[in-house]
A and B are shown apart, each in its own frame.
Chain A
Amino acid sequence: DVKVTQSSRYLVKRTGEKVFLECVQDMDHENMFWYRQDPGLGLRLIYFSYDVKMKEKGDIPEGYSVSREKKERFSLILESASTNQTSMYLCASSFKVRGSGRGNTEAFFGQGTRLTVV
C-alpha cells in the first residue's frame, strides 16, 4: 500500500517566517509534486521533481522553493511566509513508466497540511 506522509496536518506560522513542509513516500517513486488547494481553484501545481536534485516550476512557484536531496523526500519551503499563502498543501508522488520517457501514471497524495499564516 502506497504511503505518502506529510510531516504536519496543521501548522500556524507568523508572517515573514521561513516555513518547511516535508513529504516522504515509501514506494520508490521518481516523481514528486507539491500542490496547493484553495476553494474554487482546484489543485494548483507549485513545483515538481522527476528525480533526485531535479526540480521544475509548476504554475504558481512564486514565493516557494523546493528541495529533493533524497528520492523519498520532497520539501516545500516558504522563504518568507505571507498571509496569501494560507492554504491546504498537498504532496503527491508517482512512478515513472519504464521505457517511455517521463510518462504519466496515477499520483498518490499525502493527507495534506493546513497552513495558516497570521
Chain B
Amino acid sequence: GENVEQHPSTLSVQEGDSAVIKCTYSDSASNYFPWYKQELGKRPQLIIDIRSNVGEKKDQRIAVTLNKTAKHFSLHITETQPEDSAVYFCAASMNNQGGKLIFGQGTELSVKP
C-alpha cells in the first residue's frame, strides 16, 4: 500500500523566515495531496491541497509543489509568523480507495518571535 515519508520531524525558524516541509510517497497512482495543520490541542485542518494534474498551487503565504516523477511534494510557508507554529501533516490519496488519506509522520514547526 501507499507509504508517505515526511521530513523534517521538527523545524525551528525565526519569524519572517521561510519554512519548507518535504514529503515523498510510494504509489504512483496517488493523485491528491493535502496538507493539514494541527494547532496544540486542536483537530487537524486542511490548509492547502494539490492534485496530480497541477505542479504548484499558492494561497497567500503558503504554497505546495508537486513533482510526480520523483514522487515528492513540499509545503512552503513564507514570511512565517508565530501563529504558524503547529504540527503539519502531509497526506496522499488515490481514486477508488474510499477517499482514504495516508499521512506522513508530521512536522512540528516552531516560529520564534
Across the interface, which residues of B come within 8 angstroms of A56, CB to CB? 98, 100
Residues of A within 8 A of B106 (CB): 40, 42-43
Interface size on A, residues (CB 8 A): 32
B99 touches A105 (CB 8 A): yes
Residues in A with CB closer than 8 Å to B94 are 104
Interface residue? A102 (CB, 8 A): yes
Instruction: Assess whether A90 is in contact with B98, with CB atoms less than 8 Å apart.
Output: no
Query: What does the 1/0 interface line of B76-111 toward A look like (CB < 8 Å)?
Result: 000000000000010101111111111111100000
Query: Measured between alpha carbons, how far is A110 from B45 in the docked complex, in Å?
Result: 10
- Set of chain A residues within 8 Å of B42, measured between Cβ atoms: 111
* B interface bracket (residues with beta carbon within 8 Å of A): 20 to 34
Any B CB within 8 A of the CB of A109: yes
> Does more than half of chain B's interface fall in helix, strand or loop, or is it mixed?
loop
CA distance A45 to B2 in the complex (A): 12
Q: Which residue of A lies closest to B105 (CB)?
A: A42
Give complex CA distance A58, B99 in Å. 12
**A 4-45 to B, binary, CB cutoff 8 A, 1 in contact else 0:** 000000000000000000000000001101010000111111
Name the residue on A nearest B1 (C-beta): A59
- Judge if B74 is at the interface, Cβ distance under 8 Å: no
CA distance A107 to B93 in the complex (A): 11
Chain A contacts to B: CB under 8 angstroms: 30-31, 33, 35, 40-45, 48-50, 56, 58-59, 90, 92, 94, 96, 100-107, 109-112
